[in-house]
Amino acid sequence: MFVLVTYDVSAERTRIYRKLLRRYLEHIQNSVFHGELTEGQLATVKGEIRDELEPDDSLYVFTAEIAASVDCTVLGDAEEPGSRFT
C-alpha cells in the first residue's frame, strides 16, 4: 500500500522521526516521507511512532491501497518522488 507520512514536531525531535521513517520510506521533503509498505510494515511503523510520541508531536499517516491511484504533481525546484532510486 502507498503511505505518506508528515510530521510537525519541535526542532529538537525531528531527528528522531527522520531516522525512524528513513528505515521504511523515501524522504522527499523536510518532514515528508512516502513509499510502499505492507500492512505489517505499516503497523510496525505506527507502533514505533507511538513509542516516540510526546504531547506536542503531530504526525499524519495517509494511506492508499493502490499507489497508482495517487496523483503527484511536483511544482518548483524539486525532484520527482522516487527519482533518487533510479
Number of folded domains that form the chain: 1
Taking the alpha carbons of 38, 39, 44, 49 in that order, is the dihedral positive or negative?
positive
Predicted pLDDT of residue 86: 47
CATH number for the domain including 47?
Answer: 3.30.70.240
pTM above 0.75, yes or no: yes
Query: Cα–Cα distance between 14 and 20 in angstroms, integer?
Result: 10
Query: Cα–Cα distance between 69 and 13 in angstroms, integer?
Result: 32
Contact (CB, 8 A) for 47 and 82:
no
pLDDT tens, residue order, the chain (86 aa): 999 999 999 999 999 999 999 999 999 999 999 999 999 999 999 999 999 999 999 999 999 988 778 887 878 776 666 655 54
* Cα separation values, 71 from 3, 47, 60, 80, Å: 13, 28, 18, 12
State which residues form the domain around 53.
Answer: 2-85
